[in-house]
Amino acid sequence: MMVAGTRHPLPRAIWPVLFASIALALTPRVAAADFSFGPDLNVATADNTATCAIAGATSGCTAFDAQTSSMFRYLPDPIAAGDQTGVVTAIRVRSAATAPAQFVVIEESAHQGVTGSIFPSGILAVSEQVTLRPGLNTFATNLPVDSRFSTATGFSRWSVIGLNILNGTSPVPGWTTAPPINGAPTLSGETGLLLDCGSVFPCPSLMNMSPKPFTTAVADITVAPHYASLSAFTPMRLLISGDVTVTTPAAGTPGTPAPVTPTPTPVAVDPATGVALQVKDKVRLGRAFTVGRAKNPPTAATRQTLTARRAGATSAKTVVIARGTTKIASGRSAAMQAKLTRSGAKLLRAHRTLKVKLTVVATGTGGQTKTLTKSVSLVRR
């Protein structure tokens, strides 16, 4: 059940904040709730079948729904009432399956008046591991939340309650046919997918490393050793709700400064993490052949080209053997295919086997691009 708290204007942008790392165990409720967040789980249906493996995260992932579990929407406005703090005293989850899980307090950051600059900047707290069972689950918790603003810098931050699913096989608790909330439809990207890519930025290809959920408190997830990768599930409402007790008064000194770190680099989604390169089948002349697969999110489109050095050439001149393009629908995966060029067909007829260079330009859902290369062999069928 959603209980109205103080709602703010459109989100303000934030500077990521350096805060103490804490990992809190689940404890009995501390007080009666001042407000509740999240959808009404009594009428919700856990019909999502997607798992964390949709992003190649076989160890699990961190999911969050900023539309229903952001403290920006519930805690008093820190610009008018001063910095705000609270405690999440209970969390409820409707799940379709048994799954190891953990509750996460994500900090979102942005700068006042800069539209579209919101990004996850840290992990304020995590709970101990719990086990979700099919149906409605209720847990007593003691997780801190906040909402802060700095008059000195114009930066703010606020908490969002997230959920870790700690494997790559259990479906993330979600409602794909959820009705609109306050006139806002259930949109693609509403439930975010956050991954810890370690010390490598941008997040490396999933062929080389499986990213993980954020299972410990981290001051800043825009820098090493906890670079974050942000993408989204197909349209669904994350089925998590809870109760919050406010631990600061409703009135205070406006604009109490919050500690900040230097200007961050916004979290980017690496489109290459959705691409796997592999040529398994023998090539038939005149027919398209598969050079790998891609999935959306995070990869929306690919352009693939296969080249080889011209036989007998004294320079580094190359010839295009095959090419192709692929578009991947949201929530789907697709085979990346290429077709021999006239020159490529001629060479494959003459040599039967060709060693070529496969180059794939992957385009993300936000328009960003990443190039991957791999040496492969084409064998004529």
Rounded to whole angstroms, how far apart are CA atoms 1 and 38? 7
pLDDT at residue 203 in the model: 64
The mean per-residue pLDDT over the stretch 361-375 comes to 83
The mean per-residue pLDDT over the stretch 246-256 comes to 56
Q: Among 254-258, 284-288, 300-304, 355-359, which stretch is predicted with the lowest mean pLDDT?
A: 254-258
Q: Cβ contacts of residue 350 below 8 Å, gap of 6+?
A: none
Q: Are 335 and 288 in contact (CB under 8 A)?
A: no
pTM score over 0.75: no
What residues does CATH 2.60.40.2550 cover in the chain? 272-379
- The closest of 199, 189, 214 to 122, measured between CA atoms, is 214
DSSP 294-358: EETTTEEEEEEEEEEEPTT-SS--EEEEEEEEEE--TT-EEEEEEEE-HHHHHHHHHHSEEEEEE
pLDDT at residue 72 in the model: 87
Residue 306: C-alpha distances to residues 154, 343, 361, 370, 372 (Å):
50, 12, 12, 17, 12
Give the CA angle between residues 130, 134, 138 to the nearest 5°. Answer: 50
Q: Cβ contacts of residue 312 below 8 Å, gap of 6+?
A: none
Q: Are 159 and 105 in contact (CB under 8 A)?
A: yes
Greatest distance between any 2 Cα atoms in the chain: 81
Rounded to whole angstroms, how far apart are CA atoms 4 and 73? 9
Q: Are 358 and 349 in contact (CB under 8 A)?
A: no
The tokens describing 155, both together, are 């930066």
Please say if the pLDDT value at position 204 is more than 90.
Answer: no
- The closest of 121, 99, 136, 166 to 14, measured between CA atoms, is 121
Peptide bond into 171 cis (omega under 30): no
What one-letter code names the amino acid at 39?
Answer: P
* Burial environment of residue 237 by CB neighbours within 10 A (0 to 12, 13 to 18, 19 or more): buried
Please say if the pLDDT value at position 169 is more than 70.
Answer: yes
Chain-wide mean pLDDT for the chain? 78
**HEC per residue, 252-281:** CCCCCCCCCCCCCCCCCCCHHHHEEECCCC
Q: Are 356 and 308 in contact (CB under 8 A)?
A: yes
CATH 2.60.40.2550 fits 272-379, yes or no: yes
pLDDT in tens, 100-123: 999 999 998 887 655 556 888 899
DSSP 189-224: TSEEEEEE-TT-SSPPPTTT---B---S-BS-TTST
pLDDT in tens, 139-150: 999 999 999 988
